[in-house]
Structure 1
Amino acid sequence: MTSTHTPAHLPTRRLGTTGPVTSALGLGAMGMSDLYGPADEAESIATLHAALDAGITLIDTGDFYGMGHNELLIREALRGRDRDSVRISVKYGAQRDPAGNWIGYDAGPAATKTALAYTLRRLGTDHVDVYRPARLDPQVPIEETVGAIAELVQAGYVRHIGLSEVGAETLRRAAAVHPISDLQIEYSLISRSLEAEVLPAARELGIGITAYGVLSRGLLSGHWSAGRELHGTDFRGHSPRFQGENLAHNLSLVEQLGRIAEAKGASTAQVAIAWVAQQGEDIVPLVGARRRERLTEALGALDLRLDPADLAAIEAAVPVGAAAGDRYAAAQMASLDSERR
């Protein structure tokens, strides 16, 4: 259905050499359904509408975000809009029970195809623009997973194949089976482990980066405070970087970043997002705004240019490895193919 809305035009970037062209900033919808505590559904829809109207064309979700709720939310937000003007990126594979507990992972060929069938029904669409396993399944060779998605591409249900949180060797093995559009991976001023091996491999293979966690789950936003109380369902309550002395140390880094932002007439969040965006034209930052005012702030990062002096000041304030605590708890870190050395 054709929209009566006329979206604005934002700068664009291509996801790798074979992927789709999208807005230079994407919206990650996870927090609207899961993992960050309760969200306001009406405000979530309003934020999705505001993103589309502002010219954001990349919406990222996962079938396990709220056990399908996130996909249904996106379906509602797209009602009456031009589906072909939006690129929907979907992750799958995480297994959860009715209580929301994480109970395993399955990216086998049959699970891959079944998951997509449910995703298409929830989204109310006949195709997904980028489909990706959320993690490497240790029980299934990446060639089998990519091969199954390649069959879905051939059948017209998927446009492009992406990956998430995999290492350089896995990227190479996957790309040998089928072109990979982009790697979704955490990348921020305090999460830079991909720079050593993963990012060079992606560039060698012509694979783009969709960077999530650019504000490190809100830690780099300039809006976080040490005394903030977290809802029981907010995973940051168990995240190492948000605990005790780690949090105090990390907030001191944010304070220094804030001083640089103030001198630029920008917000701390805008500087953090702009820094990621300026690490390469092959990188599209994803922001997890759940409210319209946070979305507006994030969009302002696209107008911010950091010159060499700014970048040097940021590097001095928040050098590589400066953060206290890992980005996930130990068990989750151990499951990340991207973090294996």
Structure 2
Amino acid sequence: MGSVKRIKLGSQGLEVSAQGLGCMSMSAFYGPPKPESDMISLIHHAINSGVTFLDTSDFYGPFTNEILLSKALQGGVREKVELATKFGVYFEDGNMKVRGDPAYVRAACEASLKRLQVDCIDLYYQHRIDTRVPIEVTMGELKKLVEEGKIKYIGLSEACASTIRRAHAVLPITAVQLEWSLWARDSEDEIIPTCRELGIGIVAYSPLGRGFLSTGPKLVETFSSEDQRPGLPRFKPENLEQNKKLFEHVNAMATRKGCTPSQLALAWVHHQGDDVCPIPGTTKIKNFNQNIGALSIKLSPEEMAELDSYASTDSVQGDRYPSGLIATWKESETPSLSSWTS
């Protein structure tokens, strides 16, 4: 095993590698699925390097990413990893739907266990919050699945602060997954302080700004017709011009420090605290090796302040997702429990 340090994620007992591996792009959304044997080799290389925290979802594919992981975890590999997957999002007639009702929670969990060919999921996230179902109702079913030994720890993804509090009151939440990087800082006002107050770990997805902080604006020239990123507001031509300034600042500082822009951007996330685990995704061993190099980069308070000054919330143009998509899970707080039972 490699020498990647271990951290406690949340206060419920889960321990993971200080950096994880996001597996989504191996199967979905960032172009066509990648060759299975290459991806299994990459996953094994990650585990042997000490990156043992693997992140997937039933939504990636759908289903094909979990099946890929099940193949990678054969032959005694399962015992070496902390396996995270998610439920709650699916496509219907080309539209994204969200469900958090108890019957769906249970069916989704049992289907993931079967696809992954495991007895227990280490960390099971609600991928998006169903704004029609009280979070207490969703959590009640997750609690039963924990009691049955099908899940060890519970997580939420893209949840607001009040939902996190309500969920945590039913059963302690181990981790909240959110987008956090030099170009996505909107969770710093309320969500991250709430997690810290409650002792909940923070898992930062897209810590490289979906590749933008590695490559800059020229990234858009590499997108295939199956890549979903051109549909994201920040990659639109009218926003790219402004957003490239952030990349130029990061690139210049990385050059001064003798590292790559992606290493610098990842190091910034690591320096947010020992309760934060970024999960950069990649499909190339070369990029993976570069990403774990970020763990040895030290940033002084002055360098952190300099990066913060480049990456203030108003320095990035465009929303993280198309507004119609955000509306499917962020319209409002989930209903109260009393309104559901009455």
Q: Same fold (TM over 0.5)?
A: yes
Deviations 1:79-114 (A, max 9, x none): 1133222111111111224x8x33411111111111
Pick closer, same or farther for the CA change 1:80–1:338 going to 2, 3 Å.
farther
Query: Are 2:232 and 1:244 equivalent residues in the alignment?
Result: no
Q: Is contact 2:88-2:129 (8 Å) kept? A: no
Counterpart position of 1:86 = 81
Matches within 5 A, 1:205-284: 205-222=198-215, 224-225=217-218, 228-284=221-277
- Match for 2:181: what amino acid? S
Q: In the alignment, is the contact (CA less than 8 A) between 1:185 and 1:210 conserved in 2?
A: yes
Q: What stretches of structure 1 move > 6 A for 4+ residues in a row?
A: none
Secondary structure in structure 2 of the residue aligned to 1:222:
helix
1:21 matched to 2:15? The reply is: yes
Which of residues 65, 68, 76 is equivalent to 2:63? 68
Decide whether the 8 Å contact of 2:120 with 2:150 is kept in 1: yes
In structure 2, distance between residues paired with 1:261 and 1:332: 34
3-state SS of paired residue (1:62) = coil
Secondary structure of 1:209's aligned partner: strand
1:68 shift after superposition? 1.1
SS of match in other structure, 2:221? coil
Equivalent in the alignment of 1:125? 118
Q: 1:333: Cα distance to partner?
A: 2.5
CA distance, structure 2, for counterparts of residue 284 and residue 242 of structure 1: 25
Distance 2:314 2:53 in 1: 30
Partner of 1:185: 178
Contact between 1:165 and 1:338, CA under 8 Å: does it hold in 2? no
Residue ranges of structure 1 left out of the alignment (5+ in a row):
1-6
Q: Deviation at 1:9?
A: 2.8
CA RMSD of aligned residues (A): 1.7
Question: Are 1:190 and 1:321, in contact at CA under 8 Å, matched by a contact in 2?
Answer: no
- Alignment identity in percent? 38
- Compared CA separation, residues 188 and 338, structure 1 to 2 (3 A): farther
CA contact (8 A) 1:43 1:292 kept: no
Structure 1 equivalent of residue 339 of structure 2: none
Q: Which moved more, 1:296-305 or 1:232-241?
A: 232-241
Deviation at 1:318, TM superposition (A): 2.5
Q: Could you tell me whether the CA contact under 8 Å between 1:130 and 1:160 is conserved in 2?
A: yes
Calculate the TM-score normalised by the size of structure 2.
0.93
Contact 1:109 1:144 in 2 (8 A): yes
**Displacement, 1:19?**
4.1
* 1:3 corresponds to: none
Secondary structure of the structure 1 residue equivalent to 2:155: strand
Question: What is the alpha-carbon distance in structure 2 between the residues aligned to residue 209 and residue 18 of structure 1?
Answer: 13
Distance 1:288 1:58 in 2: 12
SS at match of 2:85: strand
Equivalent position amino acid for 1:158 in 2? I
**Structure 2 CA distance for aligned equivalents of residues 80 and 263 of structure 1:** 44
Selected match of 2:6 from 12, 17, 38:
12
1:53 to 20, 42, 48: 48
Higher mean C-alpha deviation, range 123-132 or range 44-53 = 44-53
Code of the aligned partner of 2:78:
R
CA contact (8 A) 2:131 2:332 kept: no
Cα distance per residue 1:8-60 (max 9 Å; x no partner)? 13111111111410000000101111111113223222211111110111100
Distance 1:175 1:44, change over 3 A: same
Paired residues of 2:139 and 2:170 also in contact (CA < 8 A): yes
Q: Is the 8 A contact 1:33 1:65 kept in 2?
A: yes
Indicate the larger mover: 317-326 or 203-212. Answer: 317-326
Secondary structure at the counterpart of residue 321 of structure 1: helix
State how many pairs are aligned: 332
Conserved 8 A contact 1:95-1:104: yes
Moved more, 72-81 or 275-284: 72-81
- Aligned-partner residue type, residue 99 of structure 2: D
CA contact (8 A) 2:17 2:51 kept: yes
SS at match of 1:96: strand
Bigger shift: residues 155-164 or 245-254: 245-254
How far is the alpha carbon of 1:337 from its aligned partner?
A: 3.7
Question: Which one of 136, 154, 158 corresponds to residue 147 of structure 2?
Answer: 154
CA distance in 2, matches of 1:190, 1:142: 29
Q: 1:160 touches 1:180 (CA, 8 Å); kept in 2?
A: yes
SS in 2 for 1:257: helix
SS at match of 1:203: helix
